[in-house]
Amino acid sequence: MAAANSRPESPTSTPTLSHRDLVHVDAALEMHTGDGPVPAINAPPALFGAGGPMLKRFDQSAASSKMPSQSATPPISVVGIGNKVAKPDYSEAKIVVATVGLPARGKSYLSNKLMRYLKWLEYDVKVFNVGQLRRSRARQRAMTSGQREDHTAEYFSHSNEQATRLRDKLAEDSLEMLIQWLKDGGNVGIHDATNSTHNRREKMKQRVAREKGFTVIFLESICDDPAIIAANVALKVSSGDPDYKDMSPDQAKADFLRRIRAYEQVYETITEPHLSYLKIINVGNQVVMNHIRGYLQSRIAFYLMNLHLKPRSIFMSRHGESQYNVEGKIGGDAPLSERGQAYAKSLPGLIKDNIGDAPLTVWTSTLQRTIQTAHFLPYTKLTWKSLDELDAGVCDGMTYEEIEQAYPEDFANRDEDKFNYRYRGGESYRDVVVRLESVIMESERQENILIIGHQAILRCLYAYFHNFPQADLPYIKIPLHTVIKLTPKAYGCDEERYTLPIDAVDTHRPKPKAAVAKQPQLDEVPGSTAKRQYYVEEETA
Ligand code: F6P
C-alpha cells in the first residue's frame, strides 16, 4: 500500500492518521482480556492502498486524462500498472556455486535449499549433482555390459587411481553440463560434489573464468557436530540410496563411514585467498566469507548464513472468516465474522494439542482480521506490515463480479496470467513475493512459528516451502479455518493440515476455463517432497 506521507492536497475532508488513532487501535486490543467477542478496531480508513478514497479518485482522474504518452519510454515505475508485468531481466546473472565438503556434511541439503530460495525469487537455478551422474552412468554401463559396478568405499579411495580418474572426469563433465546450461539461459548452476582439493578447485576456477561474465563461488560446509554428522549418515543409509541397495543398514553405515575416511585422507579445506568462497560451519553457527561481491552473490551468502537445522515446525493459518469474506469482497480491513471469532477462540487449543509446551512465536499482518485471530493465543506476537494481504488497488473492497464489470480488461488479464497481473494502484503476486523475502529470511532463522496471514500471502510463503512454480502459485488452495503444519526435512517439507469444524465461506476462485480447476499436487512438484533424487534424467555422451 502506498505510504501516507506523500498525500496530495485533500479536496474534501479526508481522514488523517493521528497518533491518537494509533493509540486507540492498541487500546482496543489491550482492553480486551476476556473470552467475549474479539474487539473491533476502528482504525481510520487508509487514504491510499486498501480501499483508499484518494486512490479511487486518482484512478477516475487518470481515466479522463488518458492521452498518448509523449515519451517513447515511459518511466519504469508506471509500466504495466493494471496490466501484466514482465519478469525482471536476470539474463546477466551467471553464477556457478560449487560445494566443498566431506560426505555427510549437508552439501546437498544446502544446495537444495539455495535452489528453492532462488527459484522462488524467479532465478533459473539447477543443481548438478555428481553422485547422481555417477549412478546414472554406471546404470547405463550395467545395461550394456550386464555387470554392476562396485561403488563401495574402495571406489572412493585416492589409492584407487582408475576410480579417481573416473570421478574427476565425472566432476568435469558435470561442470561442462552446468556451463552449457548457464549459456542456454540459466542463472545459477550448483555443482554439488565434494570438490575437496586445491587442485580440483583451481581447475574449476580456471574453466569458469574462460566464460565471459561467469563467476564461481565455492560453498564449503564444515561440520564437526557429531549429532549432525550422525543424522546425515543415518539419512544416507536409510533413504533408499542405490549405492547401498544390496547391504544391510549396518553394512551400509560401515561402508559409508569408510567412504568418509577415504575423503578425509585427501581433503583440503579452502584456504586459497584468491577464491570467492563461503564457509558454513555447523550449518549457520559460524560463517566465513571471502571475495563475495555483487548483489546476487551477497544475497546467496546472506541466505545461507541464516539457515539452521534445529527441528521445528512452521504453522500457517489464514485469519478467521471476516465480514468481507462473507460479503464476497476482497481486501479491506474488516473484522472477523462470528464464525471467524469462533475460529480465533478454538485456535489456541489446536496449537497446544500440537506442540504442547514448546515455545512458539505468532506473526500477524497489521490488518485487524489477523490480529483478532491471534488474540487468544498465549504466545509472543509480532506484527509485520509485509504480511498484509495483496493490495488490490482500485479494486479493494469490491467483489469479483463488481471488478469484472468495472474493469473487464483487467479482469481478463488477471485470469490469463494471475502471477504477473498487477492491480491498478496495487500489487501483483510477484510484488508480494518480493516484499515477503524478508519474512522468508526471518522464518529461516526462527524455530516454531505460526503465521496468521491472508490467502495470497500464504500462497506465496507456501510456494517457497514446497517449491511450487510461479504459474501455479496463485491457485494454491489455502482454505479458511485450516492450520497447515510444515515440518522441514532434508529435501523438502512434510505437511499436515488440520481443519476446524467451523464453517466458513470458500474464497478460492479456480483457474477459469479449466474444466476442473487443478490444485497442484505435492508429488508433481520437483523438490516438494522430502525425497532425495538419485539419478539425473539427461545424460551427455
Ligand atoms: O478473498 C480473500 C482475499 O484474501 C482477498 O482479500 C484477496 O484479494 C484475495 O483473497 C486474493 O486471492 P486471489 O488472488 O485469488 O484473488
Residues 191, 98 contacting (CB under 8 angstroms):
yes
Residues 374, 365 contacting (CB under 8 angstroms):
no
Nearest Cα residue to 512 out of 421, 417, 394, 419: 417
CA nearest ligand 1 atom 12, residue: 456
pLDDT tens-digit map of 278-299: 999 988 788 999 999 999 999 9
Residues 502, 481 contacting (CB under 8 angstroms):
yes
Q: Probe ligand 1: pick from 411, 455, 457, 460, max atoms within 8 Å of CB?
A: 455
Q: Answer yes or no: is the C-beta of 222 below 6 A from any ligand 1 atom.
A: no
Reduced to 3 states (helix: H, G, I; strand: E, B; else coil), residue 129 is strand
Q: 3-state DSSP helix/strand/coil percent for the chain, to nearest 5? A: 45, 15, 45
Q: What angle do CA 299, 467, 343 make, to 5 degrees?
A: 105
Reduced to 3 states (helix: H, G, I; strand: E, B; else coil), residue 404 is helix
Strands of the sheet with 95-100, listed across from one edge: 125-129, 188-192, 95-100, 215-222, 277-281, 286-290
Asked if 389 is an active-site residue, the reply is yes
Q: Answer yes or no: is the C-beta of 455 below 6 A from any ligand 1 atom.
A: yes
pLDDT at 30 over 80: no
What phi, psi does 298 have (nearest 5°)?
-65, -35
Say whether pTM exceeds 0.75: yes
pLDDT tens-digit map of 392-419: 999 999 999 999 999 998 999 999 999 9
Asked if 319 is an active-site residue, the reply is yes
Instruction: Please compute the mean of the pLDDT values over residues 231-243 and round it to a whole number.
Output: 83
Q: Answer yes or no: is the C-beta of 390 below 6 A from any ligand 1 atom.
A: yes
pLDDT tens-digit map of 98-121: 999 999 998 988 999 999 999 999
Residues 278, 217 contacting (CB under 8 angstroms):
yes
Q: How far is CA 66 from the centre of its chain?
A: 39
Indicate the average pLDDT of the chain: 84
Q: Answer yes or no: is the C-beta of 473 below 6 A from any ligand 1 atom.
A: no
Rounded CA-CA distance 342/373 in Å is 9
Distance 414 CA to ligand 1 centre (A): 12
Catalytic-labelled residue, pool 319, 375, 466, 481: 319
Distance 331 CA to ligand 1 centre (A): 7
